[in-house]
């Protein structure tokens, strides 16, 4: 098997050529996210990025992310939880049987309300494979952060927090923007931790967010520290709503974001381990290894 692992998101496209043993031999990227692709244009965009890889005999291309959404190449309906590799493989949407398939994403129910993820499921399974774990909590920070609970190698449930989006809304479109500096600047760890701890007071973000303004009004926080403090408030609110227990949490995301979450979780004495983009390639490689020969 010659695996071509593809992560096709809303604003970007990444691909990797992965050997049988999981070693990533080469990576490529472009800005051709799904929103830039015209109807019927997905095969051509993929061909432009890695047509030479696709031409190799015995190649298998697995595509995760928003390419499988209604706005993407074709819709790959969500696979319901609990779900492991067997269930995920069963729900693949084959574009070319035995050659190109879209990974479906996951759905779950909580309190009678559905939740979904698309692309993160591959990162979760990749993280478990890299860490050689079958149980635990995996957190994927981002615009819409995911808290994923895994037992015996299968995702049992997850919840989504619109943390990054709320930060951006408060940062740019609320009264708080009047006192915040134009740029975020480097992370101010004391201010960030102060925000995390204040969020844990239990008052809720609708109340605690106003403290960004009042601390500035009374000269109790410098302007340069306010973005870090606000970041601590929204991430602290996220932690407040999650039941965190066990020996630790696995974080999957960019260095900048996982650093903040590790710092926030340390205020709860929760140990963390962080992984980056390697989790995506590892997850697609592990999924490919479960498929039967065409």
DSSP per-residue letters across 217-247: HTT-S-GGGHHHHHHHHHHHHHHHTS---SS
The confidence score (pLDDT) of residue 293 equals 57
Residue pLDDT, tens place only, 59-116: 999 999 999 999 999 999 999 999 999 999 999 999 999 999 999 999 999 889 999 9
Contact status, residue 171 vs residue 179, Cβ threshold 8 Å = no
The confidence score (pLDDT) of residue 240 equals 92
The confidence score (pLDDT) of residue 278 equals 92
Closest by CA position to 50, among listed 95, 104, 102, 6: 6
Q: What domains does the chain contain, in order, with CATH numbers?
A: 163-275 (3.30.420.310)
Q: 3-state SS of the chain: helix, strand, coil percent to 5? A: 40, 25, 35
In degrees and rounded to multiples of 5, residue 281 shows phi and psi of: -65, -40
DSSP per-residue letters across 40-101: T-HHHHHHHHHHHHHTSTTEEEEEEEGGGSTTSSS--PPEESSB-HHHHHHT-EEEETTTEE
Q: Is the pLDDT of residue 191 over 90?
A: yes
Strand 145-151 and strand 154-161: pairing?
antiparallel
The confidence score (pLDDT) of residue 201 equals 86
The confidence score (pLDDT) of residue 64 equals 98
Average pLDDT across the chain, whole number? 95
d(Cα 209, Cα 211) in Å, to the nearest integer?
5
Q: What is the mean pLDDT of residues 249-253?
A: 96
Q: Where are the beta strands (DSSP E) in 131-245?
A: 136-140, 145-151, 154-161
- pTM value? 0.93
């Amino acid at each position: 098997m010659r695996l071509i692992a593809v992560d096709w998101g809303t604003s970007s496209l990444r691909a990797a050529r992965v050997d049988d043993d999981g070693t990533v031999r080469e990576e490529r990227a472009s800005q051709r996210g799904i929103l830039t692709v015209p109807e019927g244009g997905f095969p051509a965009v993929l061909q432009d990025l890695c047509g030479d890889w696709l031409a190799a005999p015995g190649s298998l291309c697995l595509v995760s992310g928003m390419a499988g959404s209604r706005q993407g190449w074709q819709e790959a309906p969500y696979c319901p939880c609990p779900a492991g590799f067997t269930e995920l493989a069963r729900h693949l949407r084959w574009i070319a049987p035995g050659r190109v398939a879209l990974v479906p994403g996951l759905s779950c129910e909580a309190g009678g309300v559905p939740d979904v993820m698309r692309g993160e499921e591959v990162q979760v399974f990749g993280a478990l494979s890299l860490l050689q774990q079958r149980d635990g909590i995996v957190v994927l920070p981002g615009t819409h952060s995911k808290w994923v609970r895994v037992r015996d190698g299968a995702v049992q449930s997850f919840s989504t927090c619109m943390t990054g989006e709320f930060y951006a809304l408060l940062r740019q479109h609320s009264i708080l923007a009047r006192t915040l500096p134009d740029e975020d600047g480097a992370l101010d760890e004391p201010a960030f931790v102060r925000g995390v701890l204040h969020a844990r007071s239990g008052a809720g973000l609708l109340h605690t967010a106003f403290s960004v303004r009042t601390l500035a009004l009374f000269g109790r926080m410098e302007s340069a520290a306010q973005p870090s403090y606000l970041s601590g408030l929204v991430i602290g609110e996220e932690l407040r709503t999650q039941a965190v227990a066990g020996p630790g949490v696995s974080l999957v995301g960019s260095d900048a974001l996982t650093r903040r979450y590790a710092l926030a979780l340390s205020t709860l004495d929760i140990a963390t381990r962080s992984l980056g983009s390697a989790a995506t390639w590892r997850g697609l490689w592990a999924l490919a290894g479960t498929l039967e020969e065409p």
